[in-house]
Amino acid sequence: MTTHQNRSKARTRPGDNPTGEMVHALRKRHGLTQDQFGELVFCSLRSVQEWEAETRRMPPITWLAYLHILGEQDLPRRETAGKVTD
């Protein structure tokens, strides 16, 4: 399955995964510790640490779950190759 864009190791094709900076900013904006953040969607502290350090990619569906649970109305946008995508 390494050909799927969200599973690719290549940094040039990030897919729809949020960056570590986006994950960190969302968590801090809501005043949550990494442990509390993980508990919201039944993820381990280790997963949250790896997402923020960008040693592991957060699945896009998990990102959407966090946004829904935390009541985020505007989805953070990511810039890729000079273009802004939603």
Residue 81, pLDDT > 50, answer no
- Rounded CA separation 43/75 (Å): 21
Rama region for 65: left / alpha / beta (φ>0; ψ in -120 to 50; rest): alpha
Domain ranges of the chain: 1-6+16-72
pLDDT in tens, 16-41: 889 999 999 999 999 999 999 999 99
pLDDT in tens, 58-78: 999 999 999 999 998 765 566
Q: Is the pTM of this model over 0.75?
A: no
Would you tell me the crossing angle of helices 60-69 and 20-29 to the nearest 10 degrees?
A: 10
**1-6+16-72 topology per CATH:** 434 Repressor (Amino-terminal Domain) (1.10.260)
